[in-house]
């Protein structure tokens, strides 16, 4: 396992000290490792969200190219959105 020296702001240093003195963590390294795990998890989730957004954009582009869309006048957008999810009357 590698050793790193990091410089923390006074606020972050106080937070680390508080977490250790509260008993939540055994030492400062555990606090930093936990923070980095959370940061990685958030970064991974952001990447998954971007991949999904890219896929949905491609699907939308494909739908437009295939003519699967509805033109809506700007002043009718609210009522069109209100109607989404309502059962269609036959």
DSSP class per residue in 5-74? -----HHHHHHHHHHHHTTS-SSHHHHHHHHHHHHHHHHHHHHHHHHHHHHHHHHHHHHHHTT------G
d(CA 67, CA 55): 18
Which DSSP symbol is given to 88? P
pLDDT, one tens digit per residue, over 5-55 is 999 999 999 999 999 999 999 999 999 999 999 999 999 999 999 999 999
Residue 67 token pair: 């003519």
Compute the half-sphere exposure of residue 26: CA atoms within 13 Å on the CB side of its CA.
3
pLDDT digits (tens, 9 = 90+) for 43-75: 999 999 999 999 999 999 999 999 999 999 999
Q: Which of 16, 42, 44, 41 is nearest to 30 (CA)?
A: 16
């Amino acid at each position: 396992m590698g050793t790193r020296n990091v410089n923390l702001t006074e606020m972050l240093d106080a937070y680390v000290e508080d977490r250790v003195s509260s008993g939540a963590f055994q030492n400062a390294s555990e606090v930093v490792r936990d923070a980095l795990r959370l940061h990685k998890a958030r970064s991974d989730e952001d990447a998954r969200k971007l991949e999904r957004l890219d896929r949905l954009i491609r699907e939308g582009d494909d739908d437009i190219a295939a003519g699967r869309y509805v033109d809506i006048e700007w002043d009718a957008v609210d009522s069109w959105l209100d109607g989404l999810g309502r059962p269609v009357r036959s």
